[in-house]
Amino acid sequence: MNESVDEESVMTFPCEFPFKVMGLNTPTFESEMVMITRKHVPNLGEGAVKTNPSKNGKYIAVTITFIAHSREQLDNLYREATAHPSVRMVL
């Protein structure tokens, strides 16, 4: 297993990474976020996805936990997720 350290972020790869995305609570938002994540994390594990709707139900937070392998992988995932029209925030 190759371990690398990203000097800019001081992250050591591979590492467990919780990807959090918040957006409009539509019937397809969760599955769309999982599909986007799977493009960048093809081996996404069972039980990796947790959701939490807002108090009024208008928004939903989706947390997808996976093993990140590089800063480039995370940057590409963030870029694609933030471009989605229903996304309001990515952490």
CATH number of 4-90: 3.30.70.260
Domain ranges of the chain: 4-90
For 58, which DSSP code? S
* Residue 61, beta-bridge partner list: 22, 52
- Scanning the structure block, which residue is given the tokens 């471009």? 83
How confident is residue 4, by pLDDT bands cut at 50, 70 and 90? low
Q: How far apart are CA 15 and CA 51, in angstroms?
A: 22
Q: How far apart are CA 48 and CA 55, in angstroms?
A: 23
Which of 3-12, 40-49, 74-83 shows the highest mean pLDDT?
Answer: 74-83
pLDDT per residue as tens digits for the range 37-47: 999 999 998 89
CA-based nearest residue to 74, from 7, 30, 25, 11: 11
